[in-house]
Homo-oligomer: A and B are copies of this chain.
Amino acid sequence: MTQVDDPTLTRRERQREGTVAEIVATARALLAEGVELSLRAVATRMGMTAPALYRYVASYQELVDVVAFEIDRVATEGFQAAADQHAPDDPAARLVAAGTEFRMWALANPREFSLVFANPVAEPMGHHRDLITVQSSCCLMTDLIFEIWQQRRFPVPAVDDLPPDVRASVLEPLIPADVDKIPLEHRGLVWVYMQGWTQLYGVVTLEVMGHMDPRVIESGEMFVDVVRRFAPTLDLADDLPRLEAIVRARLTA
């Protein structure tokens, strides 16, 4: 749980921070138990009434947002830990470990996954609230790709070769990623970020939503297939057998 003991804050502010933290924790506990998330459910479990929550969150949607943010943050710690089980000089192993952990977490916690990633189902365009919530996990994956690129320097599309819209998107990205550390002439790497994230997130979303033969989901073979398809893009074709073994080890764990 997030620690709140900043002495620069007044006592009231600290207590307030503590309460909002308890709200988030309660909400997380609720939907971990399979209970439908609702203001009343959270309030009742905290020994309060529903309207009291409006002193802390402006609306139900805001509660969902802050809970989603926290879930993403905590889950990303798990992905990071999975990556850290491999040597720092083995970024490829770190990426596939984190990616597979992401996939396993999503399937084990479909409700949480839906909240974080499938949340903004057709909301008014122009609001990029969703992109903000997907900070931690996306940042982690892109950073791991960056580590691979630093080591192997796989070929990356030249910025000038990219279509105009994509070029603008990699030069001034909205996706949360440490982009400043990429030299301008290699910003094509951000396009690889997006490709990888699309592949990973795409197959995981389908698996979680159940839009696949249950036996294929259970076996994880489609996930393996996507990893295998994408590996060459990161110049990891040679290393594939070893990486696939890492993936399968986690799949059967």
Contacts and interface: CB of A to CB of B under 8 A. Distances in A.
A205 interface: yes
A215 B120 CA distance: 18
Nearest to A163: B221
Contacts of A110: 121-122
Contacts of A166: 215-216, 219, 221
A114 B205 CA distance: 13
A198 B194 contact: no
B209 A198 contact: no
Nearest to A195: B225
A201 B199 CA distance: 11
A169 B202 contact: no
A106 B131 CA distance: 20
A215 B169 contact: yes
B206 A202 contact: yes
A216 B165 contact: yes
A121 B131 contact: no
A214 interface: yes
A90 B208 CA distance: 35
Interface string A148-185: 00000000000000011110110001110000000000
Interface string A111-131: 100100110111100001011
A213 interface: yes
A241 interface: no
B209 A194 contact: no
Contact of A203 (B163, B202, B210, B213): B202
B210 A169 contact: no
A168 B221 CA distance: 12
26 contacts: A110-B122, A111-B122, A118-B118, A118-B121, A120-B209, A120-B210, A123-B210, A130-B211, A163-B219, A165-B215, A165-B219, A165-B221, A166-B215, A166-B219, A166-B221, A169-B216, A174-B213, A194-B216, A194-B222, A195-B222, A195-B225, A198-B203, A198-B212, A201-B202, A201-B206, A202-B202
6 A-B pairs with the lowest CB-CB distances in the bound complex, closest first: A202-B202, A165-B219, A110-B122, A169-B213, A165-B215, A169-B215
